[in-house]
Chain A
Amino acid sequence: MANPAFDLSPKDRSSFENYWLDGAYDEMFEAANVPRAHYRALHRTLLDLPLAEMRRRKQAADISFLHQGITFTVYGREEGTERIFPHDLLPRIVTSQEWATIERGLEQRITALNLFLRDIYNEGRCLAAGIVPREIVYSCKHFRRQMREFHIPRGIYIAVTGTDLVRLPDGRYVVLEDNLRVPSGVSYMLTSRQVMKRIFPELFRLAGVRGIDHYSEALLATLRSLAPDGRPDPNIVLLTPGVYNSAYFEHAFLARQMGIELVEGRDLAVHENMVYMRTTAGLRRVDVIYRRVDDDFIDPLAFRPDSTLGAPGLFNAYRSGNVALANALGTGVADDKALYAYVPAVIRYFLGEEPILDNVETFLCSDPAQRQHVLQHLHEFVVKAVGESGGYGMLVGPYSTAAEREEFRARIEADPRNYIAQPTLQISRAPCFFDGSVEPRHVDLRPYILYGDKITIVPGGLTRVALRKGSLVVNSSQGGGSKDTWVLHEGGGADAVAGG
């Protein structure tokens, strides 16, 4: 049988005309014009669809996002500017074998990180054993001494995690960072799937894509499992900083999907270590809070006194065991970028296993020898501030100016604990649709991990795309967009197409 990929009429060639391959792993092509088996259906469809039709679908998708109000807020410009989340039309496809490895790897990693958190806030065995240096933990600005010696419900610190994976030129997935505080983005994963089903129904039928709609139900079950004293019908709420928060759309979306109340700090009142919410029928007790407010802001009596986003007295209610929080407070110490370098050791120590998913090689600027090496090779490294997220406070060496490098050199020397460096990675690229042609752009992958009675990972995640040509930064606040992520059923994709 002739491979359809080689059967290109001149008209067809146009959409891939501007496509090129380079050193990075290409998600779609194994060689020029030779798509990988699981991408054949998509490749064929792209060749068959006239450009006008592609544009029409792209427009239909954009309008759908705008009308549904699927937006995020951009900081640093006009207060509360609403934007549509930039979305690329073409799905990113993951085979069931690849996914099986990712799933096992994440389960292992999250189990270990949770044990680590429980340990450092209680016995501190791994610190005593020298697995992780004490100063890394105690100097982390996300370490909460208020959490010490506190047995939290079921010992689950990280009920919801989003871990960022990237793919190296050899095809391996490695962990770039963990988001253990209030990871966001899952609503884009869920809504973009809805839109894609409307835009590409024929492709779904061909490809054999696994569903992700059970995420909300799994999240609700996870939250329910945390209810204090195993209360049978707990009142679960989602605490949002409010409508001006960049992820407000997601908060409202998840609350609606789960059928729970979306509350703000001003809706809550704490009385004798019980948390209540103000309803039209009077005060009603709250049992579990899925909080999307950072530690610092959650209780002005325990943390930042100037915060108006939380509820005064909430922390004492939490320590009294009258209310559960997901995630627990103080989890940020385990996603600190300096701690990251020790995660493989943490996995070995707590589980006695080798890590299934590797880390990216990481240099700690707090270590004099490593710092020296980084400063001498700044133009080769990506330098990150350890406590930052969202692509802020970052230097991408090969794309930086001399002035930017000097600025970072000064910053690193002033506060070495605050910086780490990683080699500039050739992260994988996937095809994206830009008005009339398909071009490759760099992508990462953030699956969401739920930890309650058991660990649940819905097959998929948020694929973030660096939409600017050549850019390696995928964060939405830095010009990144997203793609739908398709995890295929076993035997999906290639076989279906070969048969058809």
Chain B
Amino acid sequence: MLSRVADNLYWMSRYLERAEHTARVMGVQWNLMLEYEPGSAERRWKRVTASVGRREPLEGDAFAAAQSFALAQIVGGIAEARENARQVREQISSEMWEELNMLFHESKRMGTPELFNVQGFDLVYAVIRSSNLFQGITDSTMSHGEGWQFIQTGRFMERVHASAKLIDLHFAEYFDAAEPVSGSDHMEWLGLLRSCTAFEAYCKVYTADLRPERAAEFLLLNADFPHSLRFGAERLLRSLEAIHQSAGARKTDRVSKLAGRLTAALSYTPLEEIMGNLHEFTTGIRRLCGQIHGGIYQVYISYPLDAALEG
């Protein structure tokens, strides 16, 4: 497969995942906010926007600033995903393109600030629904070859990276090992699980009894839940191994080894150790993600020509 195509498929998938993640996190927060005490807004929006990738502080009215940031990230992310798809239209199935293209037109229509104020939830649902649909269409209409593996890689890379940040910031704000969860904090932990579509799945394992350690265990270490970090890391490893296979023996297996380390950290680190320093653990996960991302580029996409000619 062309290196440029791999690049486009990877980013198409990452951007769509990012738009979906942002939509879900913001949707959950808007929902919580409707029943919340007014004073806490600024801190909340600061944390929430940081957890979906904003680096600069919010200026002016925190709610309005968070809203416009989220809108840009959702609508912009979908536009980027589509632009990447457009550049590799012949590689993806027509059904995939149609779904993404429809989402693009729909999100542009609904994503104006005026409409967003009254129908924000509609946009959130449309994005999540269409992103899920897109994944289903991808799985059932595209060969599960190298291109599909790059799509998987993009999706799970983004998911692991973004969820690690979300969990990190949430625990930094709400977790206190000495205090049991009570009152309004309960809603926040519920919000965290919902932000990872994990609430229902969590209940099936632990019942609706919300405890931070259990939430951490579920979101970080659960082997079966598609939005847990471990699940994502294992999928990353699987896809990168498949890519290494199809690229042939001349390529180094450096990248899949890094993914192996990521999987090992999430499979074999005891929960107590993680809870001892959750920030450091999630930061380590994010750093490894960054190395894998860099490795993919060095090995498959922007490798130097001279080396390739000698091989």
Answer whether A283 and B305 are a contact pair too, CB < 8 Å, given A253-B90, A266-B4.
yes
A66 in complex: contacting residue of B83, B105, B305, B309, CB < 8 Å: B105
A197 CB contacts on chain B under 8 angstroms: none
User: Do the beta carbons of A283 and B309 come within 8 Å of each other?
Assistant: yes
A248 CB contacts on chain B under 8 angstroms: 86
Task: Say yes or no for B251: interface residue by CB 8 A criterion.
Answer: yes
Task: Say yes or no for A351: interface residue by CB 8 A criterion.
Answer: no
The CA of A67 and the CA of B102, in the complex, are separated in Å by: 6
Q: Distance (Å) between the CB of A236 and the closest chain B CB?
A: 13
A68 in complex: contacting residue of B1, B98, B246, CB < 8 Å: B98
Task: Say yes or no for B34: interface residue by CB 8 A criterion.
Answer: no
B246 in complex: contacting residue of A252, A253, A267, A281, CB < 8 Å: A281
User: Do the beta carbons of A261 and B2 come within 8 Å of each other?
Assistant: yes
B205 CB contacts on chain A under 8 angstroms: none
Residue of A nearest to B305 (CB): A269
The CA of A469 and the CA of B91, in the complex, are separated in Å by: 40
User: Do the beta carbons of A267 and B2 come within 8 Å of each other?
Assistant: yes
Q: Distance (Å) between the CB of B254 and the closest chain A CB?
A: 14
The CA of A271 and the CA of B301, in the complex, are separated in Å by: 19
The CA of A280 and the CA of B86, in the complex, are separated in Å by: 20
The CA of A271 and the CA of B243, in the complex, are separated in Å by: 26
User: Do the beta carbons of B250 and A255 come within 8 Å of each other?
Assistant: no
The CA of A218 and the CA of B301, in the complex, are separated in Å by: 33
Q: Distance (Å) between the CB of A73 and the closest chain B CB?
A: 11
Interface 1/0 per residue, A275-300 and B, CB below 8 Å: 00111111100000000000000000
Most buried by A among B2, B4, B94: B2
User: Do the beta carbons of B4 and A256 come within 8 Å of each other?
Assistant: no
Answer whether A67 and B309 are a contact pair too, CB < 8 Å, given A253-B90, A263-B2, A279-B1.
no
A256 CB contacts on chain B under 8 angstroms: 89-91, 94
How many interface residues does chain A have, given as a range? Answer: 20 to 34
The CA of A67 and the CA of B4, in the complex, are separated in Å by: 25
Residue of A nearest to B104 (CB): A69
A280 CB contacts on chain B under 8 angstroms: 1-3, 6, 146, 243, 246-247, 300-301
Q: Distance (Å) between the CB of B235 and the closest chain A CB?
A: 19
Q: Distance (Å) between the CB of A235 and the closest chain B CB?
A: 12
Task: Say yes or no for B189: interface residue by CB 8 A criterion.
Answer: no
The CA of A278 and the CA of B90, in the complex, are separated in Å by: 17
Task: Say yes or no for B135: interface residue by CB 8 A criterion.
Answer: no
Task: Say yes or no for A264: interface residue by CB 8 A criterion.
Answer: yes
User: Do the beta carbons of A281 and B4 come within 8 Å of each other?
Assistant: no
Answer whether A281 and B251 are a contact pair too, CB < 8 Å, given A66-B105, A267-B2.
yes
Residue of B nearest to A238 (CB): B90
Answer whether A282 and B87 are a contact pair too, CB < 8 Å, given A66-B105, A263-B2, A277-B2.
no
Chain A, interface SS category = mixed
Residue of B nearest to A64 (CB): B98
The CA of A67 and the CA of B82, in the complex, are separated in Å by: 12
Task: Say yes or no for B231: interface residue by CB 8 A criterion.
Answer: no
Task: Say yes or no for A498: interface residue by CB 8 A criterion.
Answer: no
Q: Distance (Å) between the CB of B3 and the closest chain A CB?
A: 5
User: Do the beta carbons of A283 and B101 come within 8 Å of each other?
Assistant: no
A242 CB contacts on chain B under 8 angstroms: 87
Name B93-108 residues within 8 Å CB distance of A: 94, 97-98, 101-102, 105
A262 in complex: contacting residue of B83, B90, B105, B246, CB < 8 Å: B90
User: Do the beta carbons of B89 and A282 come within 8 Å of each other?
Assistant: no
Most buried by B among A66, A278, A282: A282
Q: Distance (Å) between the CB of A260 and the closest chain B CB?
A: 8
Task: Say yes or no for B311: interface residue by CB 8 A criterion.
Answer: yes
Task: Say yes or no for A243: interface residue by CB 8 A criterion.
Answer: yes
User: Do the beta carbons of A69 and B101 come within 8 Å of each other?
Assistant: yes
User: Do the beta carbons of A282 and B250 come within 8 Å of each other?
Assistant: yes
A283 CB contacts on chain B under 8 angstroms: 305, 308-309
Residue of B nearest to A66 (CB): B105
The CA of A256 and the CA of B105, in the complex, are separated in Å by: 23
The CA of A242 and the CA of B86, in the complex, are separated in Å by: 10
Q: Distance (Å) between the CB of A293 and the closest chain B CB?
A: 16
B276 CB contacts on chain A under 8 angstroms: none
The CA of A271 and the CA of B304, in the complex, are separated in Å by: 14
User: Do the beta carbons of A279 and B2 come within 8 Å of each other?
Assistant: yes
B247 in complex: contacting residue of A68, A69, A267, A281, CB < 8 Å: A281
Residue of A nearest to B147 (CB): A280
Q: Distance (Å) between the CB of B172 and the closest chain A CB?
A: 39
Residue of B nearest to A269 (CB): B305
Residue of A nearest to B90 (CB): A256
Task: Say yes or no for B183: interface residue by CB 8 A criterion.
Answer: no
Q: Distance (Å) between the CB of A71 and the closest chain B CB?
A: 10
A279 CB contacts on chain B under 8 angstroms: 1-3
The CA of A83 and the CA of B214, in the complex, are separated in Å by: 52
Task: Say yes or no for B38: interface residue by CB 8 A criterion.
Answer: no
Task: Say yes or no for B39: interface residue by CB 8 A criterion.
Answer: no
Name A47-67 residues within 8 Å CB distance of B: 66-67
Task: Say yes or no for B248: interface residue by CB 8 A criterion.
Answer: yes
Name B157-209 residues within 8 Å CB distance of A: none
Residue of A nearest to B1 (CB): A280
Q: Distance (Å) between the CB of A40 and the closest chain B CB?
A: 35
A249 CB contacts on chain B under 8 angstroms: 89
The CA of A255 and the CA of B86, in the complex, are separated in Å by: 13
Most buried by A among B87, B90, B250, B251: B90
The CA of A262 and the CA of B8, in the complex, are separated in Å by: 13
A266 CB contacts on chain B under 8 angstroms: 4
Interface 1/0 per residue, A137-180 and B, CB below 8 Å: 00000000000000000000000000000000000000000000
A262 CB contacts on chain B under 8 angstroms: 88, 90-91
Residue of A nearest to B4 (CB): A267
A68 CB contacts on chain B under 8 angstroms: 94, 97-98, 101
User: Do the beta carbons of B89 and A252 come within 8 Å of each other?
Assistant: yes
The CA of A271 and the CA of B306, in the complex, are separated in Å by: 10
B300 CB contacts on chain A under 8 angstroms: 280
A278 in complex: contacting residue of B4, B91, B146, B250, CB < 8 Å: B4
A255 CB contacts on chain B under 8 angstroms: 90
User: Do the beta carbons of A271 and B309 come within 8 Å of each other?
Assistant: yes
The CA of A119 and the CA of B83, in the complex, are separated in Å by: 45
Interface 1/0 per residue, B96-124 and A, CB below 8 Å: 01100110010000000000000000000
User: Do the beta carbons of B90 and A281 come within 8 Å of each other?
Assistant: no
Interface 1/0 per residue, B66-90 and A, CB below 8 Å: 0000000000000000010011111
Residue of A nearest to B149 (CB): A280
Known: A261-B2, A267-B2. 10 other contacts (CB 8 A): A67-B101, A242-B87, A252-B86, A256-B89, A264-B4, A278-B3, A278-B308, A279-B1, A280-B1, A280-B246
A-B contact pairs, 27 of them (CB 8 A): A67-B98, A68-B98, A69-B101, A242-B87, A253-B89, A256-B89, A261-B2, A262-B88, A262-B90, A263-B2, A267-B4, A271-B305, A271-B309, A278-B308, A279-B1, A279-B3, A280-B1, A280-B2, A280-B146, A280-B247, A280-B301, A281-B1, A281-B246, A281-B251, A282-B251, A282-B308, A283-B309
Q: 8 closest Cβ contacts across the A-B interface?
A: A256-B90, A252-B89, A255-B90, A280-B300, A281-B247, A252-B90, A278-B3, A281-B248
Binding site for A on B (CB under 8 A): 1-6, 83, 86-91, 94, 97-98, 101-102, 105, 146, 243, 246-248, 250-251, 300-301, 305, 308-309, 311
